Every structure is written in structure tokens, then in C-alpha cells.
């Protein structure tokens, strides 16, 4: 089964549409959505409508999704993120609030685990370094774990020869040969607000048969979303950062 892996869409409809177009071309059978479908951007309802229509989709909650339905306090958010959440609360349709409220935040099967932040702190921890990876090993429920939250395409793994834990970024088009016998955490980067200096949407495709994960990037019309963000009165730094991928 081929699965599209999408994280941190952040209400960015043009980016989401482009990614879904690529994944349909890859003939995926289903999708895994790793949280933060809303927040920051101007299209929360449209993104949720699109996600809910996908065939075979598993969606988990991120910290912005929870904040949008008041399950998480916005006090810990920075000023721009907080403003965007307060705006999102005012426009979210009731049925989408119900959907976000009901989302699980830590899903695991025998094949994989899905969390937004990290296995030990599924909503809020940023998995950025090997030290944090190590501290999460005992909470891993499957050897292949997909995360989001940092908006950076990153791979955490154990080196075969030395048994040492390691991490690295994942390049566009790179194929990771995952395996079931050793702990690995994969972040596909962010669909709607990439932060690795590449403004293109970042996402992946995972084949549950071959255990290959491929990272993909796709350009989208940034002007459309920036225009809509201005109209909605969303904070300027959130608008300009999309042009820089930071
Ligand atoms: Zn996020």
C-alpha cells in the first residue's frame, strides 16, 4: 500500500492541492496526516474539507489543531501564532471543530506510529536532535514513526555498523530504505509552512510493502495565499516567511 505523508498543512490550501496532485500521480492508496492541519494560514475550513474527502485517511492532532478548539492554551504560542489561532477560532465551521476535537494524537499499528511532536510528548516536543531522539526510544510503539511539528524534513535512525544513533536532513527525491528491526523517526517537512530555506511544499510517500519512503517537494502559488492572508488581517511575518521558506 502506498501512503501519502502530509504534515503541518497549516491552512495552506494552494500548497495542499499541489501536494495531493503529485500524490495522485504516484497512485497512492491512502494518506497519513501528521497534525497542524490548521493554524497560521487563511484556509482552515477548505483544508479540512479536502482532507476529510480523501480515501483511506488517518489524521492526528497537532498543537495548533488543539489550540484552534481550545484544547490547548494559546499562552505558550508566540504572538503571531496566537493571533492566527484566535482568527482561526472565529472562522472555523462547527462541524470542523467537532472533527478537530475528536482527533487522536498518538496512533500506532504494527507497521508505524504517528505523532505530531514526539512519541513521549505527542503534541508539543520538537524532535530536532539525536539527544531528544534517544530520550524518545522507550516511548516508540513501532520501529517506523512519522512526526511533524518542526517543519523540517529530518531522519532519525541507528547506524547499522556502529549502532550509534544519528540524524540528518532528507533531500528532495531521496528514498529512504526503512526497516522494521530498528528505531527510525521520519519527518516529511511541512506542506504549508516549510522552514528549511526551501519555500516549496514538503511531503512524502511511504510504501508499506517495500518500506521505502520518498521525500518530495512541490512549488505552489504563494501569491494566492499571501493575498488571502492580507485580506484576513493575519500577521505580516507569517505572510512574508512563506516567500523565504523560513
Ligand atoms: Zn506546525
Task: Report how far ligand 1's centroid is from the alpha carbon of 2 (Å).
Answer: 24
Q: In percent, how much of the chain has pLDDT > 90?
A: 95
What SS3 class is residue 157?
A: strand
Tens of pLDDT, residues 127-176? 999 999 999 999 999 999 999 999 999 999 999 889 999 999 999 999 99
Tens of pLDDT, residues 1-55? 999 999 999 999 999 999 999 999 999 999 999 999 999 999 999 999 999 999 8
Task: Report how far ligand 1's centroid is from the alpha carbon of 160 (Å).
Answer: 31
* Res 59 pLDDT > 90: yes
Which is nearest to 10 in space by CA: 53, 63, 52?
A: 63
Global pTM exceeds 0.95:
yes
| Residue 98 binned pLDDT confidence (cut-offs 50, 70, 90) | very high
| Residue 110 binned pLDDT confidence (cut-offs 50, 70, 90) | confident
Task: Report how far ligand 1's centroid is from the alpha carbon of 10 (Å).
Answer: 7
C-alpha dihedral (11, 173, 205, 137), degrees to nearest 10: -90
Task: Report how far ligand 1's centroid is from the alpha carbon of 22 (Å).
Answer: 22
Task: Report how far ligand 1's centroid is from the alpha carbon of 195 (Å).
Answer: 10
Task: Report how far ligand 1's centroid is from the alpha carbon of 162 (Å).
Answer: 33
Q: How far is CA 73 from CA 63, 84, 86, 150, 241, in A?
A: 9, 13, 11, 19, 24
Task: Report how far ligand 1's centroid is from the alpha carbon of 191 (Å).
Answer: 10
- Cross-strand bridge partners of residue 156: 167, 185
Name the grid cell of 179. Answer: 526497516
Give the largest CA-CA distance in the chain: 54
User: Average pLDDT over the chain, rounded to whole?
Assistant: 97
Tens of pLDDT, residues 167-186? 999 999 999 999 999 999 99
The answer to whether 74 and 67 are in contact (CB under 8 A) is yes
Q: How many helices (H) and strands (E) does the chain have?
A: 8, 12
Task: Report how far ligand 1's centroid is from the alpha carbon of 77 (Å).
Answer: 11
Given this model, what pLDDT does residue 161 score?
85
Cell 505552489 locates to 220
- Neighbour count for residue 85 (Cβ, 10 Å): 23
- Higher-confidence residue of 115 and 160: namely 115
Question: Domains (ranges, CATH) in the chain?
Answer: 2-243 (3.60.21.10)
Task: Report how far ligand 1's centroid is from the alpha carbon of 37 (Å).
Answer: 8
- Cross-strand bridge partners of residue 169: 154
Distance CA 96, CA 49 (A): 8
Amino acid at each position: 500500500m502506498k501512503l501519502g505523508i502530509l504534515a503541518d498543512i497549516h491552512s495552506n490550501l494552494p500548497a495542499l492541492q499541489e501536494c495531493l496532485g503529485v500524490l495522485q500521480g504516484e497512485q497512492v492508496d491512502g494518506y497519513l496526516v501528521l497534525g497542524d492541519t490548521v493554524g497560521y494560514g487563511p484556509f482552515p475550513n477548505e483544508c479540512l474539507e479536502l482532507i476529510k474527502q480523501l480515501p483511506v485517511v488517518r489524521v492526528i492532532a497537532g498543537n495548533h489543531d488543539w489550540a484552534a478548539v481550545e484544547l490547548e492554551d494559546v499562552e505558550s504560542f508566540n504572538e503571531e501564532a496566537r493571533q492566527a489561532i484566535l482568527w482561526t477560532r472565529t472562522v472555523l465551521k462547527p462541524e470542523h471543530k467537532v472533527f478537530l476535537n475528536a482527533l487522536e494524537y498518538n496512533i500506532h499499528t504494527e507497521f508505524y506510529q504517528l505523532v505530531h511532536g514526539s512519541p513521549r510528548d505527542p503534541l508539543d516536543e520538537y524532535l530536532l536532535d539525536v539527544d531528544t531522539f534517544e530520550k524518545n526510544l522507550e516511548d516508540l510503539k513501532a520501529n517506523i514513526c512519522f512526526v511533524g511539528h518542526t517543519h523540517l524534513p529530518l531522519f532519525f535512525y541507528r547506524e547499522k555498523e556502529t549502532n550509534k544513533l544519528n540524524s540528518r536532513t532528507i533531500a528532495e527525491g531521496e528514498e529512504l530504505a526503512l526497516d522494521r528491526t530498528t528505531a527510525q523517526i521520519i519527518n516529511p517537512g511541512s506542506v504549508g509552512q516549510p522552514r528549511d530555506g526551501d519555500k516549496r511544499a514538503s511531503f512524502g510517500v511511504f510504501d508499506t510493502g517495500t518500506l521505502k519512503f520518498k521525500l518530495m517537494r512541490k512549488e505552489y502559488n504563494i501569491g494566492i495565499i499571501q493575498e488571502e492572508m492580507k485580506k484576513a488581517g493575519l500577521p505580516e511575518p507569517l505572510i512574508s516567511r512563506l516567500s523565504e521558506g523560513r
